[in-house]
Amino acid sequence: MSTRKPGQPSEKMHTDSTGGKPHSGLNREIQTKIGQQLRAMYDDVVQEGVPDRFADLLRRIDNPADEGKTE
Amino acid sequence: MKIDPGLRDQILATVPSLRAFAISLCGNVDRADDLVQETLLRALANIHSFQPGTNLSAWLFTILRNLFRSEYRKRKREVEDTDGSFAESLKSYPEQVGRVEFQEFRAALAQLPAEQREALILVGASGFSYEEAADICECAVGTIKSRVNRARSRLAKLLAIDNVDDFGPDHATRAVLIGHDN
């Protein structure tokens, strides 16, 4: 499982022994916040929907006759 | 070319998530949108190789990831680039990476090795299973799990130390966090 490259600093941390120790409550709380922040950041982009350029792109490919028309 | 309307709708429905993944990978909205466009063109050119009924979104993510990796490798050859300097470029152009409230988080994310970053996003944000993420990244499930774990630990460290008020209630917490890995 350890495929550390020679140049990389050792990142043993607290998960190096058999399967890792159970996370402390504090660690769990931080992980929950990281998960929330990650999804919030991601969903912020997802909520922008499909920009026109991509809908147009698929339409143009679907109907080459529309080529040149921008709407 | 005629695209099956159902398939076209499914592809379009995946675009928002593809963009979110692309922006998380390259940290730049314009580059990310170009990457998504390339992905769509590549996908449509190879649509015959997609097996109907299989996971379209995983297929599209795989194409996007491969395009990103080959572009990333190219850029790395052109300019001797590292994950560290990539993070620096993010700090220099914060307006490129979306809303202010996520800048710090994105900056921390950018400090992770690319493999850890993509694994964490696929599993933690895109909603793929470990198995699907392993398929997308063409590696073993155990490798994905370990990358996700390392990404989480690293982020916890980066964010807890840089932003104690958001990620820990007080200085005692901070001391515990900093002391934790020493």
Q: What is the pLDDT of residues B74-97, one digit of tens each?
A: 776 665 555 555 555 554 444 444
Q: What is the Cα–Cα distance from A62 to B6, expressed in whole angstroms?
A: 12
Would the pTM of this model clear 0.80, i.e. be above it?
no
pLDDT digits (tens, 9 = 90+) for A3-21: 444 444 444 344 433 344 4
Least confident of A59-68, B15-24, B36-45, B64-73: A59-68
3-state DSSP call for residue A11? coil
Query: In this structure, are residues B12 and A54 in contact, taking their beta carbons and an 8 Å threshold?
Result: yes
Query: In this structure, are residues B99 and B123 in contact, taking their beta carbons and an 8 Å threshold?
Result: no
Quote the pLDDT of residue B57.
96
Contact residues, B window 112-171, toward A, CB-based 8 Å cutoff: 120-121, 124-126, 142-143, 146, 149-150, 152-156, 159-160, 166-168
Quote the pLDDT of residue B85.
54
Higher pLDDT residue, B103 or B144? B144
Nearest Cα of chain B lies from the Cα of A44 at a distance, in angstroms, of: 8
Q: Which CATH architecture has domain B1-81?
A: Orthogonal Bundle (1.10)
pLDDT tier at B3 (50, 70, 90 boundaries)?
A: confident
pLDDT digits (tens, 9 = 90+) for B105-156: 888 998 999 999 999 999 999 999 999 999 999 999 999 999 999 999 999 8
Tell me which residue of B115, B155, B114, B120 sits closest to B139, measured CA to CA: B115
> What's the length of chain A?
71
Residues from chain B that touch A3, judged by Cβ atoms under 8 A, are 143
Determine which of B15, B38, B121 to mutate to test the interface with A (most A C-beta atoms within 10 Å). Answer: B15
Structural domain boundaries in chain B: 1-81, 112-182
Give one word for B51, left, alpha or beta, with left for phi > 0 and alpha for psi -120 to 50: beta
B44 touches chain A (CB under 8 A): yes
Higher pLDDT residue, A1 or B67? B67
Query: In this structure, are residues B44 and A61 in contact, taking their beta carbons and an 8 Å threshold?
Result: yes
* Core vs surface per residue B82-115: b (16+ CB within 10 A) or e: eeeebbeebeeeeebbbeeebbbbbbbbbbbbbb
ipTM of this predicted structure: 0.76
Tokens representing A34 are 């990281």
Tokens representing B24 are 């998380």
Higher pLDDT residue, A38 or B72? A38
Q: Give B139's DSSP letter.
A: S
A52 has a pLDDT exceeding 90: yes
Query: In this structure, are residues B148 and B141 in contact, taking their beta carbons and an 8 Å threshold?
Result: no
| Chain A contacts to B (CB-CB under 8 A) | 1, 3, 11, 13-15, 20, 26-27, 30-31, 33-35, 37-51, 53-55, 57-58, 61-62, 64
B180 touches chain A (CB under 8 A): yes
Query: In this structure, are residues A29 and B168 in contact, taking their beta carbons and an 8 Å threshold?
Result: no
> In angstroms, what CA-CA distances link A18 with A12, A14, A22?
12, 10, 11
Please, what is the average pLDDT of chain A?
A: 70
> What is B112-182's CATH number, 3.40.190.10, 1.10.10.10, 1.10.287.610, 1.20.1250.20?
1.10.10.10
Q: Establish whether domains B1-81 and B112-182 are of one fold.
A: no
Residue A48's Cβ-side half-sphere holds a number of Cα atoms within 13 Å equal to 20
